[in-house]
Homo-oligomer: A and B are copies of this chain.
Amino acid sequence: MVEKGEDMDKVNITQKFNLLKEHWSPKIVGQLNDSYVKLAKIKGEFLWHKHDYEDELFLVVKGSMLIRLRDRDIVLGEGEFFIVPRGVEHMPVAEEEVHIMLLEPKTTLNTGNVQNERTVSGTEWI
């Protein structure tokens, strides 16, 4: 929920991406209805994981990536999105750096059911 008077500015996505340094470390740029809008730069392979209770949207803003599912690969180019349903194992892969926008519930952990050195808090704003 957005409190009146908070977060009442527009967001320029390109400007926010310029502030992002690390790969695989999504940062919040907006919140609505118990969900966060996040931006991330990714490069390389992530890890297989799933979110038992949360659907997750991946929108490619720049570059192209793969969302590997157990039974097939989703190739995502600029201006394409894919919604990973809750419970579905997936592994994002980016050969070159890709800029993505994520939409997910506030409760979502980046590594889902897995917690290891790639898990980040996911509650930082930029």
The interface of chain A, by Cβ under 8 A from chain B, is 1-4, 6-14, 30-33, 35, 37, 54-57, 61, 74-77, 79-83, 85-88, 103-105
Contacts and interface: CB of A to CB of B under 8 A. Distances in A.
A14 B79 contact: yes
B85 A30 contact: no
Contact of A82 (B3, B10, B56, B103): B10
A82 B12 CA distance: 9
Given A7-B83, A74-B10, A1 B33 contact: no
A108 to B, nearest CB: 9
Contact of A57 (B32, B74, B104): B32
Contact of A13 (B79, B88, B105): B79
Nearest to A54: B33
A56 B81 contact: no
A31 B55 CA distance: 9
Contacts of A8: 85
Contact of A80 (B7, B10, B86): B10
A80 B2 contact: no
Nearest to A72: B8
A6 to B, nearest CB: 8
